[in-house]
Amino acid sequence: MVESSDIVPRIWLIAGPTASGKSAHALDLAQRIGAEIVNADSMQIYADLRVLTAGPPPEETALAPHHLFGVVDAAVGWSVGRWLEAATKVLSEIEARGNPAIVVGGTGLYFRALTHGLADVPPVPETQREISGLLYAARGEEEFREILKPLDPEAEARIEVGDRQRLVRAHAVAVATGKSLTAWQTDTKPALQPGTWKGFVLDPPRPELYARCDARLSAMVEHGALDEVRAMEARGLDPSLPALKAVGYREFAAHLRGETTLDQALDAARQETRRYAKRQLTWFRNQTPDWERVVP
């Protein structure tokens, strides 16, 4: 449990892998200290997939103020920069009210933007973006990563599997500017000033975490995840939109198209969720080594 007795920051950052209990810890702390909760999950910002992305239900949002949950339509893709702008504004408003804030989520890049800042990367010509995108399409992700690796090994290592948008951007930036995206991002200023925040990472035992991932997917189906995916599919949105990359979406959409049974879709979604949780654990271990670890 995240304890508040001996810490006095204005902002608490609670991070961790999916299904680790972050939301429950944040809500418990918010009720104890009178804090407002700010979302730092790149999928929970979208309004259309609350169940599938494990967004807070109404009974939880009624217990403490919640911000940046379900505020964006799935047809609109938000970047890290857009989230940072919105989160910084919300945090300023919370401070003006004299309340502490709890930023909670599993998107490591959001936390990094808060604590390290975002790079002022020069505009990349549209032609280069198209060339990088065509290269990705022609070679596939695995080979594209091998091409990106000598240009920006850090970006290749940290960008999640299947994240075409960020892989293509890293390649385009490196080629167009002659400087890796990672190098640009190193020269930044944090949005949160030192001494104003304290970071925690929920770090449950791996077997327990995987079991929770499996159980939560079954609960999602029971509580309407398939209906959410069905409604999204009916809109005919561009499959490259960030919201449609929510873990489990692709597997459940395939089931709804008759390509798999529900059991097969669940098995595939569980496997992908465990992989995602593992990637999150690795990211937080490498990128936030000085944050306090909490075993839920």
Better-predicted residue by pLDDT, 163 or 69: 69
For the segment 169-193, the average pLDDT, to the nearest whole number, is 90
* CA gap 47, 68 in Å, rounded: 10
pLDDT of residue 225: 97
11-118+188-204+283-294: CATH class? alpha beta
Assigned token pair, 181: 């995206």
Are the C-beta atoms of residues 108 and 41 closer than 8 Å to each other?
Answer: no
Query: What is the CATH topology of the domain spanning 206-279?
Result: Helix Hairpins (1.10.287)
Better-predicted residue by pLDDT, 1 or 11: 11
Q: pTM of the full predicted structure?
A: 0.81
pLDDT of residue 265: 97
**Mean pLDDT, the chain, as a whole number?**
93
pLDDT of residue 8: 59
pLDDT of residue 243: 94
Least confident of 42-46, 143-147, 184-188: 184-188
Neighbours of 61 (CB within 10 A): 16
Alpha helices for 54-107 (secondary structure H): 58-61, 80-96
pLDDT of residue 3: 61
Residue 22 pLDDT grade (very low, low, confident, very high; cuts 50, 70, 90)? very high
For the segment 258-275, the average pLDDT, to the nearest whole number, is 96
Residue 1 pLDDT grade (very low, low, confident, very high; cuts 50, 70, 90)? low
For the segment 126-135, the average pLDDT, to the nearest whole number, is 96
What is the tens place of the pLDDT at every residue in 220-248?
999 999 999 999 999 999 998 999 999 99
What is the DSSP secondary-structure string of 204-257? --HHHHHHHHHHHHHHHHHTTHHHHHHHHHHTT--TTSGGGGSTTHHHHHHHHT
- Whether residue 171 has pLDDT greater than 70: yes
Residue 18: partners with Cβ closer than 8 Å, 6 or more residues away: 54, 106, 213, 247, 273, 276, 277, 280
**Strands, E assignment, 82-168:** 101-105
3-state SS, residue 15? strand
pLDDT of residue 186: 77
Q: What b/e sequence results for 106-121 when a residue is b if at least 16 CB atoms lie within 10 Å of its CB, and e otherwise?
A: bbbbbbbbbbbbbbeb
User: Domain map of the chain by residue range?
Assistant: 11-118+188-204+283-294, 126-186, 206-279
* CA gap 251, 266 in Å, rounded: 7
For the segment 200-210, the average pLDDT, to the nearest whole number, is 95
CA 38 remoteness from chain centre: 13
Are the C-beta atoms of residues 224 and 51 closer than 8 Å to each other?
Answer: yes
Q: 109 φ, ψ to 5°?
A: -65, -30
Are the C-beta atoms of residues 56 and 65 closer than 8 Å to each other?
Answer: no
How long is the chain? 296
State whether CATH 1.10.20.140 applies to domain 126-186. Answer: yes
Are the C-beta atoms of residues 174 and 180 closer than 8 Å to each other?
Answer: yes
Q: In percent, how much of the chain has pLDDT > 70?
A: 97
Least confident of 76-90, 110-124, 159-173, 214-228: 110-124
For the segment 176-195, the average pLDDT, to the nearest whole number, is 88
pLDDT of residue 2: 64
* CA gap 197, 210 in Å, rounded: 30
In one-letter notation, the amino acid at residue 220 is: M
